Structure 1
Amino acid sequence: MKENFSNSSEEEILNFHKDISSKIREIREKKGISQLDLALDIGIKSVAFYSNCENNRYGKHFNLEHLYKICKSLKIQVKDLF
C-alpha cells in the first residue's frame, strides 16, 4: 500500500503559485513596470518564460530565487506577496 506523505494536494500547491503570481502582477502593474523590464532586471532573458511563470501557463512558476530577485526589483518584502 502506497502511503501519502504530502500534507497538501496538487490543487492547493497550484493555487498557491497562482496567488503569488497574481500578487506579483498586481504590484508590477501598479508600479508601471512591464513584464519585459522586470524579466530582464531579474536575469530572465525570455519575456515568454517570465509571462508563462506570471500566468502559470504550461506548469511554469517562479522559484525561490526568482521571488527573491522580484522582491528586490519591486522594492518589496517577500511577506508582501502573501
Structure 2
Amino acid sequence: MKDCSISNEQMEEVYKTIGQNVKRVRTSKNISQLALSLAIGHKSVGTIAVAEIYHKNKHFNIEHLVKIANVLEVDICEFFKDIK
C-alpha cells in the first residue's frame, strides 16, 4: 500500500495554488473580491482576500470552493490545476 502522508509544507503549497487559481478565475471574469464574497454569503471581503494569498494559514474549505465554482460558473477542478 502506498504511503499517502503529506507534509505541512506540501499542504501549504496546495492551499496557495488553490488560492491563486481562485484569483485567476475570478479576475478573468472581472468579479471583485467583494462581489464574490457577497455572492457566497459573506458580508465582507476578508475570507476571499486572505484565502487567495493563504495569509495567516487561512484557506478555502470545500464549502467555499463549491460555492465559488457555482458563482464563477466553472468546474471545481479548475481550482486544483497545477497542484503537484
Q: TM-score, normalised by structure 1?
A: 0.88
Aligned to 2:16: 18
Q: Which has the larger radius of gyration?
A: 1
RMSD: 1.4
Percent of pairs with identical residues: 36
Q: Show structure 2 runs of 5+ residues with no match.
A: none
Q: Retained in 2: the 8 A contact 1:39–1:45? A: yes
Greater RCO, CA 8 A, separation 6+:
2
Alpha-carbon shift at residue 57 of structure 1 (Å)? 0.6
Report runs of 4+ in structure 1 exceeding 2 Å deviation: none
> Aligned equivalents of 1:25 and 1:9: distance in 2?
25
Alignment deviations for residues 21-77 of structure 1 (CA, whole Å, 9 cap, x no partner): 101100100100000000110112121232111111111000000000000000001
Aligned to 2:26: 28
Q: Retained in 2: the 8 A contact 1:44–1:50? A: no
2:45 aligns with one of 44, 47, 65: 47
Q: Retained in 2: the 8 A contact 1:68–1:78? A: yes
Matches within 5 A, 1:34-73: 34-73=32-71
> Aligned equivalents of 1:66 and 1:47: distance in 2?
13
